[in-house]
């Protein structure tokens, strides 16, 4: 089965591809729209590009990866992201699944902070709910800078290839819901 990945940046799609590939090694993950950055997914040109790549690659499912950049109850931001997802879902023949990262993708790293601590020589404590950390990227940057081995978002694909899938799923509510939905579609 072929799974297309669409996200706000190539590093995001690469990171999720690496994380999911470890648990779903029988699936073929392909990154779509590799020259995209930030909120470009909100414009019509990018949506047309997704359709073009969808027609060329013909994935069975398309994962749409976005950051909310806010708390989970921010109605305005949530509506914006859901509206964009609906537009994208309609142009990929309703074959899309939404992975909405609450605040940022880096919240998933906080869900398995032991892997990050080991790689960067840090001692960041496990957050009870990574979804409630307002700036997970800055937490990682700050902690790693103090340890003398600075983290950068360009490291995400490598870090995500090391993360413990079950730890991320067990410690991050929105990722657990995504996995449940993904498994349902795969069944």
pTM of the model: 0.94
* Cβ-contact 2, 30 below 8 angstroms: yes
The string of pLDDT tens digits covering residues 111-169 is 999 999 999 999 999 999 999 999 999 999 999 998 888 999 999 999 999 999 999 99
Enumerate the domain spans of the chain: 2-105+159-186, 107-152
Q: What is the token pair recorded at 157? A: 């694909």
Mean pLDDT of 41-57: 87
Residue 106 has pLDDT above 80, yes or no: yes
- Rounded to whole angstroms, the Cα distance separating 87 from 68 reads 17
* Of 106, 104, 37, the residue nearest 69 (C-alpha): 104
Helix (H), strand (E) at residue 35: none
CATH domain 2-105+159-186 topology: Rossmann fold (3.40.50)
What is the reported pLDDT for 38?
A: 61
Residue 13 has pLDDT above 90, yes or no: yes
Average pLDDT, the chain: 93
Residue 41 has pLDDT above 80, yes or no: no
Helix axes 75-91, 44-57, angle to 10 degrees: 40
Which residues sit opposite 101 in a β-bridge? 67
């Amino acid at each position: 089965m072929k799974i297309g990945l669409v996200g706000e940046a190539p590093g995001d799609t690469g990171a999720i591809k690496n994380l999911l590939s470890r648990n779903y090694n029988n699936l073929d993950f392909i990154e779509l729209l590799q020259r995209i950055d930030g909120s470009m997914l909100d414009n019509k040109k990018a949506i047309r590009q997704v359709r073009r790549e969808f027609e060329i690659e013909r994935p069975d499912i398309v994962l749409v990866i976005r950051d909310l950049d806010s708390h989970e109850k921010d109605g305005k931001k949530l509506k914006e992201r859901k509206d964009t997802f609906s537009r994208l879902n309609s142009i990929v023949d309703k074959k899309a699944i939404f992975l909405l990262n609450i605040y940022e993708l880096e919240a998933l790293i906080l869900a398995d902070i032991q892997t990050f601590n080991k790689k960067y020589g840090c001692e960041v404590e496990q957050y009870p709910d990574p979804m409630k950390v307002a700036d997970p990227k800055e937490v990682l940057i700050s902690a790693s800078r103090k340890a003398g081995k600075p983290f950068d978002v360009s490291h995400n694909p490598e870090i995500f290839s090391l993360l413990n899938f079950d730890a991320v799923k067990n410690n991050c509510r929105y990722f657990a819901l995504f996995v449940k939905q993904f498994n349902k579609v795969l069944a």
